[in-house]
Amino acid sequence: MIIVIHHRQIAIFVAMSSKIPSLRTMGTLPVFMTAISTILGAILFLRFGYAVGHVGLIGALAIIIIGHMVTIPTAMAVAEIATNQKVEGGGAYYMISRSFGLNIGATIGITLFLSQAISVAFYIIAFVEALGPLFDWLETMIYVPMWIKDKRLLGSIFMLLLTLLMLSKGANIGVKALYFVVFILAVSLGMFFLGESNAPNGNNFYKTVRNPDSFFYVFTIIFPAFTGIAAGLGLSGDLKDPKKSIPRGTIWATVVGIVIYISVAIKLFYSAPTWDLATDQMVMSDIALWGPIIPIGLGCAAISSALGSIMVAPRTLQALGVDKIFPGKANGWLAKGRSRDGEPFNALLITCIIGFVFIALGDINTVARIISMFFMITYGIICLISFLEQFAADPSYRPTFKSRWYLSLLGAILCFWLMFKMDFTYALASTIIMVLIYVWITNVNKGRKGIQKLFKGVLFQLSRQFQIFIQKRDTELVEQEWRPFIISVSKDSFKRRSAFDLLRWLSHKYGFGTYIHFIDGFLSKETYQESKEVMRRLLTLNEGVKSKVYLDTIISPSYTSAIAQVIQLSGVSGKGNNMILFEFTHDERESLNDAIQHYQLLRATEFDVCILRSTIKGFGYKKNIHIWIRPSDFENANLMILLSYIMLGHPEWKDGVINIFSTYKPKERLQAEAKLLELVQQGRLPISPTNIQLIPQQKEEKIDKIINDKSADADLTIVGYNSEHIEQESEVTFNKYPDLGNILFVSAYREKTIA
């Protein structure tokens, strides 16, 4: 049996037996009827006169316009998202969770459930308000005890009756009831508009009562009147053509709702004094051609919406249980349906308890303010989904109806801005509650993605746009804005970590690092599967140290071809790579030979070439960096200093100290010292003058011995080299310092500027 469920936030058709397939026979009209019956509800009958009385006709029209500046983008976003996917049980929760991920979706889903459950109390309170004229009429004929007219007591009694009805009978409302409710609403409004208009307020459209409530306070009370726009969303599984029916039905209901609200505001202004409007909840009854039709319309709207809410809220909670959002056995308990008819019995119990709690408040204004906050959050998120999906341009997001990104963005911004304008305390409390719920759900469901799924597509688009922007704006004056874009290609990723560590230190804050594992062989199914496994292992290593290095693999028949491919590719950063890092050890020199063999190729392609000799000492305590500047290092010196400075930007080197050792020619000590000090001061480098040592120029072999002696305890020693060293000494250049720990040999393609 297919059952129609409608309420202020959402309406769904529920198949009472999962074995019975959906008939998919509905068209646009049920979507329109469902939405319009929830748009024209208790607030329209009970609080619109109050709004006109406190903010004037202009203020009331402004509330309608601002409210629909939120609901129209939301309606279009709902239509867009709903036509991209079939909405299963849980309605809006299902839609949000499948778009944003279960953690974020569950956060919104819990909020949505609370708003639906609280709505039950709201509509019961509104129904009790509709009984006021009945009691007044009875008092003219018989004695009515005061306790019978107690609104909290009456609300609790009706809530109890509704609870017993739902627990015993379950959802038992058909599509005919929906048409009946809309018919009564139409008759009620028709008789209201046919009532007399004697224009007691003249043409003073700003006229209000004395000491009126503030605009945004009134807006908070009235806003739930506009929250029926998503009512047809859950019908998508039962519509013949949801891609047409949902957009058309939702948008038409929104348009008709705007027209009716504006017409009601104008009619109220011209039909009753502002004092009556502000103080008499049933002022529409006094204006109508036949007064009793207004409380009848109010009662029908309120009780039908209460029924809709008490049917939908448990299903949202049940859907959360099905998705295993809650800890332990709570999921199974909430997800379980009653055996005979599939009703979410346990979730219904929770809903009814919440209803009793809020009926105890007894104040329709207080409950309306709470509901407004929850709806604002939900609508803001729906608009945000639409905007982010459009911005991300995911090929899998292909709605047949498309809103405009700027409308969705406007709706999202307005929702979150209005929240704090309406009631800062309530908004702040709602935001804190949302954050706490998200943190709790994330801790309970650690294996599920949250924020990262939300922004994955957005970050991709931003990265793409930034890369294109950088490429277009790139100039030849790169030295003025130099930073390292480093690549390292290694086949020893799981044997040694020194190169990877150095790469992550250099790319932590100021640079960009790409670490590529080389797989020797031809591309085939086997090597491709091997690369996927290697990538998984690399990502595991990366998570362990929380690095910012981009990881990749390359399959190539030789190391030479791998290098040739890598250096031709544009960097992931959006700029071409400008530096390459090799690593070798004293007892395994194959990597050193690879570096020497490709040195001229890398120089020809304008790469800075760094070669790390790693030792068993590693990087020690990460305290001391020694830089050796020799006469042949006029091009390398600044790069060596910059690399050491960049390393100190990493937390693991936060207590590090840079020591510079520089040679000078006879009688040029003062000039050499002044030049270095000026370089340090102008470059604002964290190097103390006491950490600069000048050494008289010696023969090359004597300088090498001095380096061995003075830097034996350094955690990293940085030494320069150039083409002449490669041509004349080859690998000897890199094996002169047996007593040192890790050494970084630096060859700059051109001199860098320290400004």
The domain locations on the chain are: 2-451, 476-607, 615-755
In angstroms, rounded to a whole number, what is the distance separating the alpha carbons of residues 5 and 20? Answer: 18
Paired with 613 in beta bridges are: 584, 743
pLDDT at 362: 63
Half-sphere exposure of 353 (CA within 13 A, CB side): 6
pLDDT at 365: 67
* Helix pair 242-269, 42-82: axis angle to 10 deg: 150
pLDDT at 177: 61
Asked whether residue 585 carries a pLDDT value surpassing 60, the answer given is: yes
Alpha helices, DSSP H only, in 583-654?
A: 590-597, 599-604, 637-647
Asked whether residue 199 carries a pLDDT value surpassing 80, the answer given is: no
Asked whether residue 611 carries a pLDDT value surpassing 90, the answer given is: yes
Residue matched to tokens 């970084």: 744
Which tens digit of pLDDT belongs to each residue from 378-427?
A: 788 888 888 887 877 666 677 777 788 889 999 999 988 988 888 888 88
Q: What average pLDDT does range 553-574 have in this prediction?
A: 84
In 730-746, which positions are buried (b, 16+ CB within 10 angstroms) versus exposed (e)?
eeebbebbeebbbbbbb
pLDDT at 174: 45
Asked whether residue 42 carries a pLDDT value surpassing 60, the answer given is: yes
Question: If pLDDT is split at 50, 70 and 90, which confidence band does 20 have?
Answer: very low
- The SS3 assignment for 26 reads strand
Which tens digit of pLDDT belongs to each residue from 612-646?
A: 999 988 898 999 999 998 877 878 988 998 899 88
At residue 540, φ and ψ (nearest 5 deg) are -65, -45
Q: What average pLDDT does range 177-206 have in this prediction?
A: 81
The CA-based dihedral angle spanning residues 339, 342, 346, 349, taken in that order and rounded to the nearest 10 degrees: -120
- Within 10 angstroms of residue 472's Cβ, the number of other Cβ atoms is 7
CB 500 within 8 A of CB 516: no
Give the angle subtended at the CA of 753 by the CAs of 704 and 728, to the nearest 5°.
Answer: 35
pLDDT at 264: 92
Which tens digit of pLDDT belongs to each residue from 666-713?
A: 777 777 777 778 777 766 677 778 888 888 876 766 888 889 889 999
Asked whether residue 607 carries a pLDDT value surpassing 90, the answer given is: yes
What is the CA 293 to chain-centroid distance, rounded?
47
Its pTM stands at 0.63
Structure tokens of 59?
Answer: 């203020």
| Most confident residue range from 138-142, 375-379, 417-421, 473-477 | 417-421
Asked whether residue 506 carries a pLDDT value surpassing 80, the answer given is: yes
- Highest CATH level, class, for 615-755: alpha beta
More confident residue, 187 or 680: 187
Q: What is the mean pLDDT of the chain?
A: 80
Task: Pick the closest to residue 28 from 79, 66, 102 (CA basis).
Answer: 79
In angstroms, rounded to a whole number, what is the distance separating the alpha carbons of residues 534 and 532? Answer: 5
Structure tokens of 640?
Answer: 């060596």
pLDDT at 10: 36
pLDDT at 552: 92
In angstroms, rounded to a whole number, what is the distance separating the alpha carbons of residues 265 and 288? Answer: 14
More confident residue, 559 or 237: 559
Cα distances from 692 to residues 100, 670, 686, in angstroms, run 55, 13, 12
Question: If pLDDT is split at 50, 70 and 90, which confidence band does 26 have?
Answer: low
Which tens digit of pLDDT belongs to each residue from 280-307?
A: 888 888 888 888 888 888 877 777 677 7
The domain over range 2-451 is classified in CATH as 1.25.60.10: no
In angstroms, rounded to a whole number, what is the distance separating the alpha carbons of residues 171 and 174? Answer: 9
Question: If pLDDT is split at 50, 70 and 90, which confidence band does 9 have?
Answer: very low
Question: If pLDDT is split at 50, 70 and 90, which confidence band does 574 have?
Answer: low
Q: What average pLDDT does range 322-342 have in this prediction?
A: 78
Element of type H or E holding 21: none
In angstroms, rounded to a whole number, what is the distance separating the alpha carbons of residues 128 and 592? Answer: 86
The domain over range 476-607 is classified in CATH as 3.40.50: yes
2-451 and 476-607 share one CATH topology? no
In 630-640, which positions are buried (b, 16+ CB within 10 angstroms) versus exposed (e)?
beebebbbbbb
